[in-house]
Structures are given as C-alpha cells and as structure tokens.
C-alpha cells in the first residue's frame, strides 16, 4: 500500500506497509537532516529510528493542513533536537568526545583532493560545524533548513511554526552570528 | 535611529533577495541598491562565502547498505512497539474481564447469599403492640 509523497493518509491507523513506504521515501532525507543537525553517523541512525517510531505513534494527528513532508520535518526536527540534547548530556557525563567529533560526511574527501587538501577541508568543516553548534538553536535550525535542506522561507516557517517574517529576520541574524563566530575562530 | 532602521530594512530585503525570495520588483530595487552600496556588496560576498562553508556540512546520501540497516532497525523497532502495545492491550483485557467477573460475583452474592428477608414480622413498635394486644385478648387456655 504505497503512500505517495505529500499525500494525507485517509485513516487514523496506518498500515505497517505504509510506514515502510514512508521510510523508503524519507529515510535518507531524515538521516541527512540528522547529520546536518550535528549528529555523528551512528547517532544519526538512532535518531532516524526514533523519528519514524514517533511518526508511527503520531501519524493519526496529521490533519493534512500542511504537506506530509512539512509535518514529517516538524516531527523530525523536534525528535532530533531532543536526541541531540540527550547525546550531548551523555557525552558530557562520560567525558567523551563531542557529538560531531567524527566528521559527519566524507563529501569533500574525494579522490581528486590531495591528503593535504583533504586535511584542510576537514579542518575547515569541523570549524564551521563548531561555529554552527555555538549558535542558539533558533538560529542554527533556520540555517540548516534554509541552507542545507534548501527549503523556502514559507516551508521553514511551517516547519518551525513561526511567521515568514520571523524566518526572514532569523536567517539574516543567523548569518550575521555565524559570520562573527567564524571570524572569532580565525576562519577567513 | 531612523537611518539604522532603514539599514536594517535594507539588510532584510538584501537577505531575502540573496535567498531568491524577493519579488521581481524588489529584486530590481535591490540590484540598483547594490550598484550604489559597496557595504551591501561586501555583505552579499560574505554570505556567499558562508554558503560555501555551510555546503561543507552537506552529507552524502546514505549508501544502500546503510539504508537497509536503518530500515531493518526501524522494522524491528516497529515490531517491538506493536508487540508492546498488543501485550498491554491483552493485560488490560484480562484486567477488565477480572473486574467484570468480580462485580458480577458481588452482585450474585448480594442477591442470593447475603440477602435480608423482606417480610419480617413485628419489626415496627406498632406491630409489636398489636401482637401483645392479640395475645392478651385471646382466651386463656384451660390447662
């Protein structure tokens, strides 16, 4: 029983096959979001599982007022936020390395880059990650949704349940804060 | 103060334009503004650089193997969840049946075993008086 993109489920109960379909369509996107939110790959996998289990519990509350993807991102962002908080707490408790110590992605470690370039890119990526992590959540989230998820202002506003004007000003302020943070860290 | 507010308004318009969210008319105005304002051009350049930096955080798509592992974990989690819910429902059902049986048992006991006879004799003082009068009025036995 497929559940096409952005379609509203017609009944309160969703068959397991529909959930599996939902996972097939959105699983990798939510995994990507988890990595962009600063979770290490293993933690991101746990986060994805939590997100979809929450979706399974809450799908009956989806009223179809927004697109299914918007609703899913709302659930995902809230769940991943909690998951991230939990991981950071545990990390602090066990005095281990930070959540995103491990590079979340090997994107720019392709064959074409020399080891020196790779190291430099990796270092820069870590600094950008750290700077982003230092932003207050409301600024970090708008930047992730806009710059990394490529969402429009309208969609960001829907996912975060704020006005579009708020998104506009938050994005501007988030860029200013991130720029200042990177400057402070000595990143040109 | 007024100048500052105007600058802030321009910053927001510039930011929206940078994100491709400005209307055609707004975009034309912003472009004209950029021609005249080196500060705004520097700002846009800085945002471009930030965008490139943020792109470093863009992860690769997960591999098919990774997706399969995640899907299996999710299905296992789902199965566990269904099992937990089913077990909770079964427990609730049993508790409900027990409660019903207990209630029914108490009702039966109340009706059959512990019931008080309804036709009691001389339970009222007036009835006792009446019985005494009848007793006294009756002729005494000869023996």
Domain termination residue (choose one: B55, B71, B93): B55
- For residue range B81-90, list pLDDT tens digits in order: 778 888 888 8
Q: Are residues B48 and B84 in the same domain?
A: no
Q: How far apart are CA A80 and CA B100, in angstroms?
A: 44
Average pLDDT in the B50-61 region? 87
Judge whether B99 lies within some domain: yes
Select from A83, A86, A96 the least CA-distant residue to A37: A83
Contact of B74 with A23, CB cutoff 8 Å: yes
Looking at the structure, tell me whether residues A90 and A146 fall in a common domain. Answer: no
Q: What is the extent of the structural domain holding A20?
A: 11-103
DSSP label at A41?
H
Instruction: Tell me: do A94 and A137 sit in the same domain.
Output: no
A75 with A91, same domain?
yes
Does residue B66 fall inside a structural domain? no
Per-residue pLDDT tens for A94-128?
A: 644 444 444 444 443 334 567 777 788 888 888 99
Both B83 and B51 in one domain: the answer is no
Looking at CA atoms only, how far is residue A63 from chain B in angstroms? 22
Whether the per-residue pLDDT at B128 is higher than 90: the answer is no
Q: Is B12 on the interface with A (CB under 8 A)?
A: yes
Q: Do B54 and A45 touch (CB under 8 A)?
A: no
Instruction: Determine the Cα–Cα distance for residues A6 and A26; give it in Å rounded to an integer.
Output: 11
Q: How many domains does chain B have?
A: 2
Average pLDDT over residues B85-96: 89
Q: Is the pLDDT of residue A166 over 90?
A: yes
**φ/ψ of residue A180, rounded to 5:** -65, -40
Q: Which residues of B touch A178 (CB under 8 A)?
A: 50
**Facing A106 at nearest CB: one of B60, B67, B82:** B60
- Of B84, B125, B54, B40, give the one whose Cα is nearest residue A36: B54
CB-based contact (8 Å) between A7 and chain B? no
Partner-chain contact A168 B15, CB within 8 Å: yes
Q: Which of B9, B22, B59 is the mutation pick for testing A, counting most A CBs within 10 A? A: B59
Which of A36, A71, A103 is the last residue before a domain boundary? Answer: A103
Chain B partners of A147 at a C-beta cutoff of 8 Å?
51, 54-55
Q: What is the pLDDT of residues B104-121, one digit of tens each?
A: 998 888 877 766 655 556
């Amino acid at each position: 029983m497929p559940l096409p993109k952005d379609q509203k489920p017609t009944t309160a109960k969703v068959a397991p096959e529909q959930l599996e379909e939902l996972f097939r369509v959105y699983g990798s996107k939510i995994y990507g979001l988890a990595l962009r939110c600063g979770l290490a790959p293993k933690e991101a996998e746990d986060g994805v599982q939590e997100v979809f289990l929450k979706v399974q519990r809450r799908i009956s509350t989806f009223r179809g007022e927004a697109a299914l993807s918007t609703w899913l991102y709302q659930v995902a962002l809230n769940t991943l936020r909690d998951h991230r908080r939990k991981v950071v707490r545990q990390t602090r408790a066990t005095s281990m390395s930070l959540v995103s110590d491990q590079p979340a992605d090997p994107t720019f470690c392709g064959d074409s880059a020399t080891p020196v370039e790779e190291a430099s890119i990796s270092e820069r990526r870590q600094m950008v990650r750290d700077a982003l992590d230092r932003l207050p959540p409301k600024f970090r989230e708008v930047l992730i949704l806009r710059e990394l998820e490529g969402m429009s202002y309208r969609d960001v506003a829907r996912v975060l349940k704020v006005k579009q004007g708020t998104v506009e000003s938050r994005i501007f302020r988030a860029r200013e804060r991130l720029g200042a943070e990177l400057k402070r860290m000595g990143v040109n | 103060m007024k100048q500052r507010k105007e600058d802030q308004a321009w910053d927001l318009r510039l930011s929206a334009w940078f994100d491709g969210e400005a209307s055609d008319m707004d975009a034309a105005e912003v472009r004209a503004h950029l021609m005249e304002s080196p500060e705004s051009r520097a700002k846009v350049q800085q945002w471009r650089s930030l965008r490139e930096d943020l792109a470093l955080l863009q992860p690769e798509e997960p591999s098919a193997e990774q997706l399969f592992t995640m899907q299996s974990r999710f299905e296992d989690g789902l199965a566990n969840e269904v099992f937990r819910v089913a077990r909770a429902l079964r427990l609730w059902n049993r508790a409900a049946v027990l409660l019903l049986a207990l209630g029914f048992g108490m009702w039966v006991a109340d009706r059959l075993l512990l019931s008080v006879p309804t036709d009691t004799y001389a339970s009222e003082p007036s009835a006792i008086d009446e019985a005494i009068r009848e007793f006294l009025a009756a002729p005494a036995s000869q023996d």
